Amino acid sequence: MTSPDLRTQIGRTNEKINHAQLHFSAYREVLSDSGRFQQDAWAVSYAESCTMHLGLAWQSLLRELAAFYRLPDIADVDALEAALKQQGLVAPEVVQIRAALADPSSWLGHFLRAWQTLQEPAVMRGQVDDRRIDLGRDDTSMLVMLEVWLKGIRTWVSEFRREMQEW
């Protein structure tokens, strides 16, 4: 498989971040409208869709890195690291990602666990009816968490792209 076009991946990452921003803004708006019909259902829907779009942005960012390093289309950190190692390369972006994953208090670990939870069938989580990703968080702390994840991914996209231009 050939490496995907870097410009295409950059566009996809931007698109998914923008979609996440739209759903984050809608989530914030729903929380401020206490009279809204089925407010809780709308809030859960927007929080989950924001998280899913951030997950797709995350995968697209990894694909961007793979394209930059002229590797096959890879959307997984382990596979990206293995492919780099096979080429005799070490990517500073992957080193940074690994450091964040090793830190239990990192936003990245929290985000990836929440995203993974959304991808599991509800029965596996022991929650047949409740598909909330907040794991017991109230709406205000979920809003803060989504904002942290959105900012974290945006920051890394900017930093990684700046590093790729310098390289």
Structure letter (DSSP) for residue 128: S
Beta strands in 80-119 (DSSP E): none
DSSP labels, 57-88? HHHHHHHHHHHHTT------HHHHHHHHHHTT
Q: Is the per-residue pLDDT at 128 higher than 70?
A: no
Q: What's the average model confidence in pLDDT over 58-70?
A: 95
Cβ neighbours for 65, distance < 8 A, ≥ 6 positions apart:
80, 91, 93, 94, 160
Helices 6-32, 139-166: crossing angle, 10 deg rounding: 160
pTM of the model: 0.86
Q: What's the average model confidence in pLDDT over 23-47?
A: 87
**Residue 77 domain flag:** yes
**Residue 155 domain flag:** yes
For residue 129, CA distances in Å to 41, 125, 126, 132 come to: 12, 10, 9, 9
Which domain covers residue 147, as residue numbers? 6-166
Q: Is the per-residue pLDDT at 2 higher than 50?
A: no
**Residue 129 domain flag:** yes
Q: What percentage of the chain reaches a pLDDT higher than 90?
A: 63
**Residue 98 domain flag:** yes
Distance CA 165, CA 16 (A): 22
Determine which of 111-115, 143-147, 162-166 has the lowest per-residue pLDDT on average.
162-166
- Based on the structure, what is the number of domains in the chain? 1
**Residue 1 domain flag:** no
